[in-house]
Structure 1
């Protein structure tokens, strides 16, 4: 069973099933397609499936041309999960958010697994890529798979391999980012390493699915804690009339022992604001209180409130109140040069300003219309930046520093700029750091 699957992976005759065709699943599909595998993509969103089968991409940094090429080669998308039996591999790339109590919400992972289980067959490999707490793969997925009478490691192979996508980063591709792989058994590890080794330049094996799950959490907790540190230092530096961005740039000249992290209006994206709390939640089961992680989370979560306070103070100095002021938020993606809005602090800023009575609009060249979101609602379109439009606002809040913004134009015509990204290094009268 194992050798047959390994042979099919090696000779590219294995059919690759990818479940969840978003920021993780879609690039992975393109990579498997590129090297010659037939790829079957699954998604519950019929509009996404329809778009892909028509050769249209719905992610900015993935071109429709690339999707069309994959279609012509060897790709199709479907909402029919019963076709899972056709695939030799099932790679799960679905969301793992938090619920309103900041606890892990595994509903997407578990519902997806439950939808696939009736159609599993011997000789398949199931790989989970969704970030989660250590133990999810063997505690949640394995029993569901074995409920069909399969033995993991003999009939079916179970793997955890955390995604490492960085949307919009031109320096790294799916192929070049090393892939951590942990198997439930040595046979699972061997199959998982072969699967990803067929499309990724470097596979990094670890001894278990739990080690792989913890690896992903460590990567993101490392970033969250260090961003929390510089966000706290930003407030201290401001009280001392010190430019924290100048300090970070100076410290970054040290060729060893220092990695620069930069403060901002809060954490965004699908990983850093969420993943640390997966470990915090699981650690309680072992009687451990993760104080360091939770403190960083508190600091980072408080940043939107700090930024809104800076807006209020800046408007007050201009003899204006937030209530009734026109505020333009620059950038609503969670980071620059992408169209990804997941957990974007810009949206939190917009809601807080709106709740205080501001007339809020936004400008983002990557997001022409504010999308429908589960927890946030704005009926807005992106404002074109002209001298007239910029000057019509009482305050311009720089939340996401896209390279496509004309910062000199904004500086010249804005009555007031609140800069939460340190983009403006000068001390102009109309610029306030946040």
Structure 2
């Protein structure tokens, strides 16, 4: 039976279902479509499924032509009808794994999706979780739900975990170019998952269990979170000493060994790095273990928006004898990283919230995010639109705050015409701007 399934994968007589058409699921669908698989894409958002079936992409770095090409050849269909979950041979789960208000794992989307699959599960399907989560989720949460109707994992159906490694907007490391870690708790599931992913990525990396694969993803993101926290702390310390952290980093990274550059900013953004460390911290308590180092990093990164607000407040007071209350501030860059439209967990949203709580009037400019989308933590901001880039209007603001350093923005002009620039990304210095009105934060 396994040989038959492997042969079907090799011959592309194997339907791939992907649940969740966001920044992970849609690129994955494109990768499998490009490998000549038939892809059935599931999402609860009818607007997304309608757009995809019309050949339209809603993610900037995935062009319409890539969706239209799959549609033209009949390899791709999107649906919000989850009763069709028994049609695909593989079901790849790419749903959000956020935190609760108490910074504990919120697995409602994983559980709801798993229960929907369980109601339609048939023999010989393989279910693979890609969403970032704590070690043990696949085995302890998903497997019991999937086995409720009597089918046995590793015997009647198959289950695995393969963490997403998506980096939105990174053309050098697209989904189909990144090695894929794959873990399963039985040999048959592992073999099928490896065969499936091996058709779309340059290399598969098998590990001994789903928990190990889950731990790999957590480790990758904790590594980044801790190192970003370190350089954020160094920024504050070196600033107090009159030392330029950006100059320090540029010099340090010339060392060909033992150093890897990380860069400071106004806080963490994206779905993974601000969230994943808390998943591990929560799970560690079950084993009476404490993640003091990780928790400290989380605290430092979470405090960075407050630091930026303090720098802005001090600069307004020092230069204009003006406080935050009543100040007009333009936020440059709403997305969490440069050159993408992804606003998930963006520190720019936190900055807007903090500034307005202090009495500021804020606008934002972002060529990639013309409107603030639905966000869980800041519902009052949803629907606000980016102002136009108008050099004549830049001087009307008391300060311009660079939260995200998109390419294509004229930072030299900004530094010349704005009354005050608070630069959290060193964008003005890199652009060769006049730094007389620029304060780095």
Shift of 1:146: 1.1
After TM superposition, the structure 1 = structure 2 runs for residues 171-320 of structure 1, keeping only pairs within 5 Å, are 171-317=172-318, 318-320=320-322
RMSD across aligned positions (CA):
1.0
Corresponding residue of 1:137: 138
Corresponding residue of 1:340: 342
Distance 1:312 1:380 in 2: 24
Deviations 1:140-179 (A, max 9, x none): 1111111121111111110100000000111111111010
Shift of 1:427: 7.2
Normalised by the size of structure 2, how large is the TM-score? 0.97
Corresponding residue of 1:80: 81
Shift of 1:408: 1.1
Corresponding residue of 2:112: 111
Corresponding residue of 1:353: 355
**Paired residues of 1:183 and 1:189 also in contact (CA < 8 A):** yes
**Paired residues of 1:398 and 1:421 also in contact (CA < 8 A):** yes
Shift of 1:372: 2.8
Deviations 1:187-225 (A, max 9, x none): 111111001001111101111101100000000000000
Distance 1:265 1:375 in 2: 18
2:427 pairs with one of 404, 423, 428:
423
| 1:112 aligned counterpart, secondary structure | helix
- State whether structure 2 residue 372 is matched by structure 1 residue 370: yes
Larger displacement relative to structure 2 (370-379 or 268-277): 370-379
Q: How many corresponding residue pairs?
A: 434
| 2:127 aligned counterpart, secondary structure | strand
- State whether structure 2 residue 406 is matched by structure 1 residue 405: no
Q: Mind listing any 5+ residue stretches in structure 1 that lack a counterpart?
A: none
Shift of 1:291: 0.2
Distance 2:288 2:104 in 1: 16
Distance 1:387 1:67 in 2: 37
Distance 1:202 1:354 in 2: 48
**Paired residues of 1:2 and 1:154 also in contact (CA < 8 A):** no
**Paired residues of 1:133 and 1:214 also in contact (CA < 8 A):** yes
Larger displacement relative to structure 2 (252-261 or 381-390): 381-390
| 2:290 aligned counterpart, secondary structure | coil
Distance 1:260 1:15 in 2: 42
Distance 2:35 2:408 in 1: 34
Corresponding residue of 2:42: 42
Distance 1:112 1:86 in 2: 15
Shift of 1:328: 0.1
Shift of 1:319: 1.5
| 2:373 aligned counterpart, secondary structure | coil
Corresponding residue of 2:397: 393
Shift of 1:64: 1.1
**Paired residues of 2:185 and 2:209 also in contact (CA < 8 A):** yes
| 1:263 aligned counterpart, secondary structure | coil
Distance 2:89 2:18 in 1: 11
| 2:177 aligned counterpart, secondary structure | coil
Distance 1:81 1:371 in 2: 25
Q: Mind listing any 5+ residue stretches in structure 2 that lack a counterpart?
A: none
**Paired residues of 1:365 and 1:404 also in contact (CA < 8 A):** no
Corresponding residue of 2:65: 65
Corresponding residue of 2:19: 19
- State whether structure 2 residue 439 is matched by structure 1 residue 432: yes
Distance 1:368 1:253 in 2: 38
Shift of 1:79: 0.7
Shift of 1:380: 2.4
| 2:175 aligned counterpart, secondary structure | coil
**Paired residues of 2:118 and 2:147 also in contact (CA < 8 A):** no
Distance 1:263 1:211 in 2: 30
Distance 2:375 2:281 in 1: 26
**Paired residues of 1:5 and 1:124 also in contact (CA < 8 A):** no
Larger displacement relative to structure 2 (228-237 or 374-383): 374-383
Shift of 1:181: 0.2
